[in-house]
A = this chain, B = another copy of it.
């Protein structure tokens, strides 16, 4: 069991953040993830906000040094670069349209980057950033914040070791109802930009929600290569058009497996959040982030099994981030902190030139980020053509 010991043989990374300020819920999740053990990342500098004063005030309220609360990311990168103790990693928690330019600037400033999903608007931008990251020897990680749950690695271990037989179906769902009220689009800061194509890109819920679940399916089924998608999308709140608040996707994988995704913010009243079901020729696995410590394992013709986090019968990979013991239950923030734990390990390895470790750590990397962009764009294209198959 992990008890918070240092995982990297160095001082914690000095860590800055762009966006994620007072009006952002997700910013706090990044901080909680990063700062859990105080042995991997230290919150050092921030450009929280477009409003410099609000940034400074918020930073101070978090106990930060006011001088390191910057009016914008450019200033932050510039000023921090001048210091001996300047930041080494930057977290991009801005609205989507800024991800690309901030990431690019950060890499050019020699920083590792942790970027919110969806990564950028175009796969080409992803490829460009990939080249740049390689040149600079830096990591770009993507905060698919639900993907740190221990039991997802258990599922991966069971899938890759053949416990399910051949994978036939991948059923995905991230469908809630918090977008039922059109007022939210106008009143909530966190919602406003999400329904503005200029700031959010070609999709609303396909980007905001489904990329999470899609990445998690890749984490669980690393050998499944998506071939083509067919997407039908709607704006039940009409003002969101041409963006969607509901989307159905069908998937074809290269080896004959098929799948579905339902993402929605107008699934009125549903509190069950993300569901993942992997169906093999012999058995299935099911997981839901409302009870993230339990996996249902169903072998056809045998009693149904429920596997719980923290127990000895799990695969070693599912135990390595375990912190609190069996019978106790984890939540979303535990997932975020597992993720940042892995980011620290991979960034340290990268800096030390230990490519073996870089390759072996399971985390949402730049390639997964690019896959997310392709996913969104293929879905949007399919939908706009009337629900036809589009190659990913």
Contact surface of A with B, Cβ cutoff 8 Å: 1, 3-6, 12, 22, 25, 27-29, 31-32, 35-39, 43, 58, 61-63, 164-165, 168-169, 171, 176-178, 180-181, 230, 232, 234, 236, 246, 248, 250, 256, 258, 260, 262, 264, 266-271, 273, 279-284, 289-293, 297-308, 311-313, 323-334, 386-389
Contact = CB atoms under 8 A, between A and B. Distances in A.
B281 A268 contact: yes
Given A35-B35, A36-B36, A180-B281, 7 more contacts: A3-B22, A6-B63, A25-B324, A292-B329, A297-B303, A302-B313, A331-B334
Contact of A268 (B262, B282, B290): B282
Contacts of A289: 329
Contacts of A304: 269, 271, 305-306, 308
Contacts of A32: 4, 36, 323
Contacts of A334: 331, 333
19 contacts: A5-B62, A25-B324, A28-B324, A35-B35, A177-B300, A178-B327, A181-B301, A250-B250, A266-B279, A269-B283, A269-B298, A271-B298, A290-B329, A301-B313, A303-B308, A305-B306, A324-B331, A328-B331, A331-B334
A329 B326 contact: no
Contacts of A12: 63
Contacts of A306: 271, 303-306
Copies of this chain: 4
Contact of A6 (B43, B61, B331): B61
A306 B302 CA distance: 9
A5 B330 CA distance: 23
Nearest to A164: B268
Nearest to A12: B63
B31 A4 contact: yes
Given A4-B32, A267-B169, A332-B328, A386 B387 contact: no
A6 B332 contact: no
Nearest to A40: B63
A236 B68 CA distance: 59
A63 B36 contact: no
A75 to B, nearest CB: 23
A273 B327 contact: yes
Given A28-B4, A178-B327, A303-B305, A269 B246 contact: no
Contacts of A4: 28, 31-32, 62
